[in-house]
Amino acid sequence: MSESSTRLSVFKTYKLYVGGKFPRSESGRVYEVSDSKGKWLANAPLSSRKDARDAVVAARKAFGGWSGATAYNRGQILYRIAEMLEGRREQFVREVGEAEGLSKSKAAAVVDAAIDRWVWYAGWTDKIGQIVGGANPVAGPFFNLSTPEPTGVVTVVAPQDSSFLGLVSVIAPVIATGNTVVVIASEKAPLPALSLGEVLATSDLPGGVVNILSGKAGEMGPHLASHQDVNAIDLAGADAALAKELEIAAADNLKRVLRPQPVDDWNADPGTTRMTAFLETKTVWHPTGSLGAGGSSY
Amino acid sequence: MASLFEYAPAPESRSVVDIAPSYGLFIDGEFTDAADGKVFKTVSPSSEEVLSEVAQAGAADVDRAVKAARKAFEKWSALPGSERAKYLFRIARIIQERSRELAVLETLDNGKPIKETRDADLPLVAAHFFYYAGWADKLDHAGYGPNPRPLGVAGQVIPWNFPLLMLAWKIAPALATGNTVVLKPAETTPLSALFFADICRQAGLPKGVVNILTGYGDAGAALVEHPDVNKVAFTGSTAVGKAIARSIAGTDKKVTLELGGKGANIVFDDAPIDQAVEGIVNGIFFNQGQVCCAGSRLLVQESIHDELLDSLKRRLSTLRLGDPLDKNTDIGAINSAEQLARITALADTGEAEGAERWSPACELPSAGYWFAPTLFSNVTQAHTVARDEIFGPVLSVLTFRTPDEAVAKANNSQYGLSAGIWTEKGSRILAVANQLRAGVVWANTFNKFDPTSPFGGYKESGFGREGGRHGLEGYLDV
């Protein structure tokens, strides 16, 4: 079968994932993405300020439905993402290997960890409320309950080096609790992130919950950090200078800011801090009334 | 409305408090003059009488206080939690013992009625220290992992509306978790913090664990920006909160901000009108409306608008405005001439923009800073009085037809601190509470506070929570 050995493969046009659709950058711009040895891999969209704004609109539109979904439902969908990823494991092993210059076995370990991370957060959706909320024993006849609620639209500057496990580790905790996200993928290795969009699109995740942009964090970041309809920003993948610039811009509407955290190993137990960073606490009071001096007669 | 009864004066005695003619800064356990010798006067807002002259901290004093706090941190943070707890329990008890004195002092310096300082501020202050005292040796069980560590030196800047209570909200969790503190009270209300310094002395608190710097905004800014401060806690205006957020960008400083609000108080047509009216009055006229979580936007279901407003006006006509030390006084003085000017200007804007202004017949004292309870009706969402925080006894009344409209209007604000819901229908309370983007929702009640209950805002009302287990997080390296 000489035909198959000479068959020309079909390249994929890598596109953004915004509002559940796969647009090219409205700017028409692309940039070259290479592997660790400098070999051309693909032309990725070089997203613009307009793309970033469109992504925020999509994320805002999705927020009501996603934050209003039951925690059980969100858990089911996050688990579905893990299932879909498992089925496309080989593709991601190849893409992560090329993106990060990893051997096949090391890339496979990274992809497995990323799949397991979705499972971890799938299980958290209906437990975090009990961990961080609860009844408060106030000194008076009042029912008083604190519950966590999602902050809203969260912008994430994804880690630059860990293009896939790092990416999953920063977006899964944000959406697990009901936030929606606009993520700027690793600039030099955006392809695994863009491919993740294809997985999300087939996982029952409502369009707009996760929006994935490729391009320069330095270009889009300032617009997202100062955007009045963005509620929070995770600076995971920003260098010190950019992180400071974005934190200053974020003060315009008092966004919640998660500063870059040193991460030695994305395989480590993620804990809960990436979830709690993007949660608000709402406390509701109501009088309990009284059944009279004798209380209940039962 | 003519009163049925005349009230005889019933003043609380001032003799219970002894205010010295001058006070220094409290640094490293000693009262000391400012490095440059500057002082400023603090006056009683109800009479403009000068109460005392206090030292005005500058950058050099901030540096000295931070150094003292840093020095004290090593030993304080290494103390067993049970020992830190006992210091805080001592402080709580001394506050209880001296609560009448402190209530009178607070009323003199702030202008709020003695009824409030005596029955709300002071009991809450003591309770807050008592609550966090108990946490000091239980931090392993607080849900932040084993042995959570303190941050270091906390720089805390507090407002004038609840001087001692805001001090308690800041200092109690900071000390319980093992941090040391430099606190700057507001320039118009420095005295209760200085009396608290004396309580620290009575409690035998180690030197440098609590430092109090009286002064103006420049001292607050110097404190927030000091490179050796690890934690910034601020309660005050959203504008200053944003400036603080900018100034600490790129540092490792942890920050909590409790900022402005424009709370919506939503009254549905099935609400018990008399109780709702009491709640509305409490929501906006408690502390002369100088409350970040005040219910300053009244959203009334259209069908009961007229009935509710009639009842509300009748009730406002019975409020007693005057001497804050009088035990019958409901409405005290505005805290400062500056704040009075701001309230006056915003109310005038409301009138100029076409909202309908109403106040009960109300005689204002000739000296001091006073503003009559004021109600604006025919207010739209575009009006300044419906959007800007007035921080005074001014209520804006808007209407709605459906619960969806009520929620949309309530959430139509840059702020998200508090909200109220009045209805007899339980499922509606929960549905509306769910949809409101606000950190505290009072249903069929308003302006309730408790040390166990987390307090803080959404959106531009700030971030972080004070009170409860949640309040520990802002002071721990977690």
Alpha-carbon gap: A47 to the closest alpha carbon of chain B (Å): 26
| Residue of chain B with shortest Cα separation from A133 | B470
pLDDT for B1: 46
Provide, rounded to the nearest whole percent, the portion of chain B with pLDDT above 70.
Answer: 99
Residues in chain A with CB shorter than 8 Å from the CB of B148 are: none
Show Cβ contacts of residue A129 under 8 Å, excluding neighbours closer than 6 positions: A71, A147, A148
Q: Write the pLDDT tens digit of every residue in B34-84.
A: 999 999 999 999 999 999 999 999 999 999 999 999 999 999 999 999 999
Structure tokens that stand for B308 in this block: 């509710």
Residue B15 is given by DSSP the state: G
| List B106, B187, B258, B473, catalytic entry | B258
Show Cβ contacts of residue B279 under 8 Å, excluding neighbours closer than 6 positions: B265, B295, B420, B422, B442, B444, B445, B446
pLDDT band at A224 (very low <50, low <70, confident <90, very high): very high
Q: What average pLDDT does this structure show over B383-407? A: 98
A210 in a structural domain: yes
Measured distance CA(B231)–CA(B243) in Å, rounded: 16
Question: Do residues B134 and B142 touch, judged by C-beta distance below 8 A?
Answer: no
Asked if B250 lies within 8 A of A240 by C-beta distance, the reply is yes
Asked if B448 lies within 8 A of A244 by C-beta distance, the reply is no
Measured distance CA(B177)–CA(A93) in Å, rounded: 46
- Range list of β-strands (E), B215-355: 231-235, 254-258, 264-267, 297-301
Percent of chain A as helix, strand, coil, to the nearest 5? 45, 20, 40
Whole-number mean pLDDT of chain B? 97
Instruction: Indicate the residue of A142, A280, A287 with minimum beta-carbon distance to B458.
Output: A280
3.30.450.20, 3.40.1640.10, 3.40.309.10, 3.30.300.30: CATH of B264-443: 3.40.309.10
Q: What average pLDDT does this structure show over B181-187? A: 98
Residue A18 is given by DSSP the state: B
User: Is the complex ipTM higher than 0.95?
Assistant: yes
A252 touches chain B (CB under 8 A): yes
Active-site annotation holds for B292: yes
The full DSSP string for B390-417 is: --SSEEEEEEESSHHHHHHHHH-SSEES
Q: Write the pLDDT tens digit of every residue in B289-346.
A: 999 999 999 999 999 999 999 999 999 999 999 999 999 999 999 999 999 999 999 9
Residue type for B262, please?
K
Alpha-carbon gap: B32 to the closest alpha carbon of chain A (Å): 36
Instruction: Indicate the residue of A231, A254, A281 with minimum beta-carbon distance to B245.
Output: A254
Structure tokens that stand for A81 in this block: 């993402």
Alpha-carbon gap: B434 to the closest alpha carbon of chain A (Å): 9
Question: pTM, whole model, 2 decimals?
Answer: 0.96
A28 touches chain B (CB under 8 A): no
Measured distance CA(B268)–CA(B422) in Å, rounded: 6
Q: Classify residue A261 as left (phi > 0), alpha (psi -120 to 50) or beta.
A: beta
pLDDT band at B407 (very low <50, low <70, confident <90, very high): very high
Residue B29 is given by DSSP the state: T
pLDDT band at B347 (very low <50, low <70, confident <90, very high): very high
A163 in a structural domain: yes
Q: Report the residue of A245, A258, A281 to disrupt the B interface, i.e. the one with the largest count of B CBs within 10 Å.
A: A281
Residues in chain A with CB shorter than 8 Å from the CB of B439 are: 280-283
Q: Write the pLDDT tens digit of every residue in A125-166.
A: 999 999 999 999 999 999 999 999 999 999 999 999 999 999
Residues in chain B with CB shorter than 8 Å from the CB of A134 are: 469
**Is the model's pLDDT at B3 over the cut of 80?**
no
B414 touches chain A (CB under 8 A): yes
Question: Do residues B148 and B477 touch, judged by C-beta distance below 8 A?
Answer: yes
Asked if A251 lies within 8 A of B242 by C-beta distance, the reply is yes
The full DSSP string for B315-349 is: HHTT--BS-TTBTT-SB---S-HHHHHHHHHHHHH
A168 in a structural domain: yes
Domains: count for chain A: 1
Neighbours of A18 (CB within 10 A): 27
Q: Write the pLDDT tens digit of every residue in B231-247.
A: 999 999 999 999 999 99
- Residue A147 sits in a domain whose CATH number is 3.40.605.10
Residues in chain B with CB shorter than 8 Å from the CB of A132 are: 143, 470
| List B106, B116, B187, B292, catalytic entry | B292
Domain that holds residue A199: 15-287
pLDDT for B6: 80
| Residue of chain B with shortest Cα separation from A235 | B250
Q: Write the pLDDT tens digit of every residue in B107-149.
A: 999 999 999 999 999 999 999 999 999 999 999 999 999 999 9
pLDDT for A264: 86
Q: Write the pLDDT tens digit of every residue in A250-283.
A: 999 999 999 999 898 999 999 999 999 999 999 9
CATH architecture assignment, domain B14-259+461-473: 3-Layer(aba) Sandwich (3.40)
| Residue of chain A with shortest Cα separation from B259 | A254
Asked if A281 lies within 8 A of B470 by C-beta distance, the reply is yes
Structure tokens that stand for B272 in this block: 């018990």
Question: Do residues B440 and A285 touch, judged by C-beta distance below 8 A?
Answer: yes
**Is the model's pLDDT at A179 over the cut of 60?**
yes
Q: What is the separation of C-alpha B183 from the centre of its chain, rounded to a whole number of angstroms?
A: 15
A9 in a structural domain: no
Residue B227, CA distances (Å) to A254, B155, B211, B224, B399 in order: 22, 11, 17, 8, 49
Phi/psi at A158 (nearest 5 deg)?
Answer: -70, 155
**Is the model's pLDDT at A296 over the cut of 60?**
no
Q: In terms of C-beta density within 10 A (0-12 exposed, 13-18 middle, 19 or more buried), how is residue A9 classed?
A: exposed
A287 touches chain B (CB under 8 A): yes
**Is the model's pLDDT at A186 over the cut of 80?**
yes
Asked if A285 lies within 8 A of B459 by C-beta distance, the reply is no
Size of interface A-B (CB pairs under 8 A): 103
| Residue of chain B with shortest Cα separation from A240 | B250
Q: Report the residue of B453, B455, B460 to disrupt the A interface, i.e. the one with the largest count of A CBs within 10 Å.
A: B453
Residues of A (80-139) whose Cβ lies below 8 Å from B: 131-132, 134, 136-139
Q: Report the residue of B458, B469, B473, B478 to disrupt the A interface, i.e. the one with the largest count of A CBs within 10 Å.
A: B458
pLDDT for A290: 72
Show Cβ contacts of residue A109 under 8 Å, excluding neighbours closer than 6 positions: none
What are the boundaries of each domain within chain B?
14-259+461-473, 264-443
Whole-number mean pLDDT of chain A? 95
| Residue of chain B with shortest Cα separation from A281 | B439
β-pairing, A232-234 vs A256-258, is: parallel
pLDDT for A197: 98
A186 in a structural domain: yes
Question: Do residues B395 and B378 touch, judged by C-beta distance below 8 A?
Answer: no
**Is the model's pLDDT at B4 over the cut of 90?**
no
Asked if A285 lies within 8 A of B441 by C-beta distance, the reply is yes
| Residue of chain B with shortest Cα separation from A283 | B440
**End-to-end Cα spacing for chain A:** 86
| Residue of chain A with shortest Cα separation from B453 | A136
Measured distance CA(B417)–CA(B438) in Å, rounded: 5
Question: Do residues B218 and B248 touch, judged by C-beta distance below 8 A?
Answer: no
Active-site annotation holds for B293: no
Per the document, the length of chain A is 298
A225 in a structural domain: yes
pLDDT for A3: 53
Neighbours of B475 (CB within 10 A): 30
Q: Report the residue of B125, B442, B450, B473 to disrupt the A interface, i.e. the one with the largest count of A CBs within 10 Å.
A: B450
A84 in a structural domain: yes
Q: Write the pLDDT tens digit of every residue in A188-207.
A: 999 999 999 999 999 999 99
Show Cβ contacts of residue A234 under 8 Å, excluding neighbours closer than 6 positions: A154, A155, A156, A157, A170, A174, A258, A274, A277, A278
Phi/psi at B419 (nearest 5 deg)?
Answer: -160, 160
Measured distance CA(A111)–CA(A99) in Å, rounded: 12
Measured distance CA(B400)–CA(B285) in Å, rounded: 23
Measured distance CA(B415)–CA(B434) in Å, rounded: 17
A273 in a structural domain: yes
Asked if A254 lies within 8 A of B443 by C-beta distance, the reply is no
B96 touches chain A (CB under 8 A): no
Measured distance CA(A105)–CA(A253) in Å, rounded: 45
Per the document, the length of chain B is 478
